Structures are given as structure tokens and as C-alpha cells.
């Protein structure tokens, strides 16, 4: 399949929390061929020197001009930041204008829509350039109501939830799907956020852009569609936020009630002390792992089947220690899938669901 070429705009955020869309795209992209990232703070480096697990041929540029001189011409400029509140950063505007003037299409996954911006949409029209807002809610008449459909599906449904936002849920989910498929267990990924959709997920919804009344029904519909079109043995659903997160209240719960899970993978960053959400301002403490597991199991009436670890702020030894401790304390497999792969998780899934063998 021919992939369209895309450059990612991530000034000042690549490798960081707010750069999660860029960080995801340099790791995995089915729809686009990523030809570069713009972030002057890392200009001259390769993406994998900034983001662990990134592909090795992606260069980081100081600005759009330099990128266009060096790389082949992109079809798209992707806005690679996930700002809190979802506004387009004002300092991106001159770059977006420059891109449009260079006849490059722009794609964004923010709450603020490119197409609602009079200046950008006028300019785009003049240059015959497309502005794509992937986080736009479908029209009301196309949305679905919760219909209690997943519980009877003949497929194992496993959401990858987490103890915080931007902690690696999507990356783990995608790697788990790859690993299951590699073992001959047909599996499908269902995205619930803008990055997964930008990466080219065939199934999914921009969950946190959907009004409350339709969140569960829309996600349920995406899961049913994935089942009907692919007839997979396993559906892995990307988590959102965390079930205990005070600002992101609906993601995890919508994912649980929509999917009616058979088991849950929980992603955690033992080295993270405060939630990423408006960190310096609020200092919201990370949840206790045991309490988080309890909350998830009470709500979902399903069991957490494995713990996956985000190794940020941890040495290799610390990761090894914590894995051993969690395996002992929770009697569950624990692994850092970026370093160790998904073998332990796949073994556990095969053990719990013997019908997959």
C-alpha cells in the first residue's frame, strides 16, 4: 500500500508528554510515511535518539524551511502535539501558513478545528490544500446508542488501561496486537484517541471528543465493526486517561462498559510521582497501583491479567526490581514491553483463554 509522506510539527514538545501524537507516529504509522519531525530543541538528532522505540530513519529538523530543503516534499504536515484543552498553539500559526503556501495539506487531532479558523481555511482554499480535523464528532444522526452488544461476541476483548494519561497504553496495545498476530492469534486494534487514528488504525473513535451521551455507543459500534469485518480472536482496545483520573472521567469507564472486557492489561509508570495533567500547577499524585487495580476490577467485573511498565525515570535495575516485586505482590506477569517484548503477556493470555490455542 502506498503511504502518503508526512512531516510532523512538534516544536518544543518532541519526546515529551505534550508530544504524544508525534511520539506515537515515529514509532508506528500505517497510514503515513513519516519523513521528519520539526522541533528546534532536538534539531540534527534522529527521532529514535529522542523517543525510545522510534524508527531509525526519521530526522529532526529545526524548522519547516530546513525540513523542506532536506527531505522529500511531504503530502501532509501533521500537528504532533496533544495540548491540554486541545487548542492549536498560537506559535504554530506561522508554520501552518507557510506549509499551506507550500501546498502541503494539514492534519490535526485537536479539539480546535483547523477548518473553523477563518484565516487558515481561506488560505487553504486559495492554495487547493486540504485541512483535516480527525477529532471531529460525527453528525448526530450517524452516532450510535449503547446497545449492550459486546457481551455475547465470540471474541476475547482486552482493553489496555493505565494509571495515568500519556503513559504508553496505545503503544502497548499496538505491540500486543502485533505479537498476538505473529503467534497466529488473529487480533485487531481499536483506537480511542487521535494518535491511534492518525497512525492509521482501521477501527476506532476519537472518544474524548464525543459528547457524553454517545461515548459508549460509538465505541461499542467500532468494536462490533472490527468484529464483523475481521472476525478476530482477540480485540485489543486502547485505553484513555485512567479510571481514577479526576479530569478524564469518562474514557476508562466508557471503554469498560462498551467492551465488557474478558481481561485487562494495566500500564503503569512506577517512576512517575505526579499525574501529567497540568503537572506543575496541580501536583495531582499518581494513584496507588493496588487501589487502581481494585477500582478497575470492581467496575469492570473483569480481572487485570498483566501489568506493563513504562520505564520513565527508572534505571534498568530499578525496572527489573519492580517487575519482580509486582509479579510477587500481584501474582501477575509484569513486563516493560518496549525492552522485553510481549511474550509474557501473550503467554498469560493463552493461559487464561485456552480457546485461543
Q: Which residues of the chain form contacts with its own copies (CB under 8 A)?
A: 84-87, 111-112, 137, 140-141, 143, 145-148, 207-213, 215-217, 246-251, 253-254, 257, 277-278, 281-282, 284, 294-295, 298-299
Neighbours of 148 (CB within 10 A): 11
Cβ at position 114, least distance to its own copies in Å:
13
Spell out the long-range contacts of 110-113 with Cβ–Cβ below 8 A and sequence spacing 24 or more: 110/79, 110/82, 110/83, 110/86, 110/135, 110/194, 111/85, 111/86, 111/87, 111/135, 111/209, 112/86, 112/87, 112/88
CB 223 to its own copies: min, Å: 14
Start-to-end CA distance of the chain, whole Å, equals 31
Residue with smaller CB distance to its own copies, 63 or 117? 117
Q: Which is nearer to its own copies, 65 or 290 (CB)?
A: 290
- Report d(CA 302, CA 137) in Å as an integer: 30
| Cβ 212 to its own copies shortest distance, Å | 4
Q: How many CB atoms neighbour CB 324 within 10 A? A: 11
Of 42 and 135, CB closest to its own copies: 135
Cα-Cα-Cα-Cα dihedral of 277, 278, 281, 287, to 10°?
0
Residue pair 293/162 in contact by the 8 Å Cβ criterion = no
Compute the least distance from the CB of residue 183 to its own copies, in Å: 32
Decide whether 49 or 294 has the Cβ nearer to its own copies. 294
Beta carbon of residue 179, minimum distance to its own copies (angstroms, whole number): 30
Q: Which is nearer to its own copies, 84 or 324 (CB)?
A: 84
CA pair distance 20, 256, nearest whole angstrom: 23
Q: What's the min distance (Å) between Cβ of 313 and its own copies?
A: 23
For its own copies, the closer of residues 247 and 324 by Cβ is 247
Three-state DSSP at 168 gives coil
Tell how far CA 32 is from the center of its chain.
16
Q: Which contiguous run of DSSP H or E holds residue 349?
A: helix 343-352
Nearest by Cα to 353 from 162, 160, 180, 168: 180
Residue among 342, 333, 284, 282 at smallest CA distance from 307: 333
3-state secondary structure of 148: coil
Q: Within 10 Å of residue 149's Cβ, how many Cβ atoms?
A: 16
CB of 323 to its own copies, least distance (A): 28
Q: Choose among 109, 5, 99: nearest CA to 58.
A: 5
Q: Which is nearer to its own copies, 97 or 295 (CB)?
A: 295
The HSE-up count of residue 248 (CA atoms within 13 Å, CB side) is 28
Whole-number minimum distance, CB 108 to its own copies, in Å?
13
Beta bridge partners of 334: 307
Closer by beta carbon to its own copies, 54 or else 243: 243
Nearer to its own copies, 1 or 281 (CB): 281
CB of 202 to its own copies, least distance (A): 23
Amino acid at each position: 500500500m502506498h503511504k502518503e509522506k508526512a512531516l510532523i510539527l512538534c516544536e518544543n514538545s518532541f519526546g515529551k508528554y505534550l508530544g504524544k501524537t508525534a511520539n506515537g507516529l515515529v514509532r508506528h504509522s500505517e497510514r503515513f510515511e513519516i519523513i521528519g519531525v520539526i522541533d528546534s530543541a532536538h534539531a540534527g538528532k534522529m527521532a529514535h535518539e529522542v523517543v525510545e522505540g522510534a524508527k531509525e530513519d526519521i530526522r529532526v529538523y529545526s524548522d519547516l524551511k530546513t525540513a523542506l530543503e532536506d527531505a522529500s516534499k511531504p503530502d501532509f504536515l501533521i500537528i504532533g502535539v496533544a495540548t491540554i484543552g486541545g487548542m492549536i498553539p498560537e506559535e504554530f500559526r506561522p508554520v501552518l501558513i507557510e506549509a499551506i503556501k507550500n501546498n502541503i495539506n494539514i492534519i490535526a487531532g485537536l479539539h480546535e478545528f483547523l477548518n473553523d479558523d477563518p484565516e487558515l481555511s481561506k488560505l487553504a482554499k486559495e492554495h487547493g490544500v486540504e485541512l483535516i480535523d480527525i477529532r471531529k464528532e460525527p453528525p448526530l444522526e450517524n452516532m450510535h446508542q449503547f446497545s449492550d452488544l459486546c457481551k455475547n461476541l465470540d471474541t476475547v476483548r482486552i482493553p489496555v488501561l493505565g494509571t495515568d494519561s500519556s503513559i504508553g497504553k496505545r503503544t502497548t496495545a499496538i505491540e500486543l496486537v502485533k505479537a498476538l498476530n505473529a503467534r497466529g492469534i488473529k487480533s485487531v486494534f481499536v483506537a480511542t484517541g487521535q494518535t491511534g487514528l492518525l497512525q492509521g488504525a482501521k477501527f476506532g473513535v476519537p472518544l474524548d471528543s464525543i459528547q457524553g451521551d454517545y461515548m459508549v455507543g460509538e465505541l461499542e459500534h467500532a468494536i462490533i465493526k472490527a468484529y464483523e469485518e475481521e472476525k478476530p480472536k482477540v480485540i485489543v482496545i486502547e485505553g484513555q486517561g485512567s479510571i481514577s483520573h479526576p479530569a478524564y472521567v469518562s474514557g476508562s469507564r466508557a471503554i469498560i462498559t462498551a467492551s465488557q472486557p474478558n481481561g485487562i492489561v494495566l500500564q503503569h509508570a512506577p517512576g512517575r510521582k505526579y499525574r501529567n495533567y497540568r503537572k506543575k500547577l496541580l501536583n495531582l499524585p499518581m494513584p496507588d497501583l493496588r487501589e487502581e487495580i481494585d477500582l478497575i476490577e470492581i467496575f469492570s467485573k473483569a480481572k487485570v491479567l498483566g501489568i506493563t511498565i513504562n520505564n520513565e525515570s527508572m534505571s534498568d535495575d530499578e525496572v527489573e526490581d519492580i517487575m519482580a516485586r509486582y509479579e510477587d505482590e500481584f501474582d501477575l506477569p509484569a513486563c516493560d514491553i518496549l525492552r522485553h517484548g510481549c511474550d509474557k503477556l501473550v503467554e498469560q493470555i493463552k493461559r487464561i483463554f485456552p480457546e485461543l490455542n
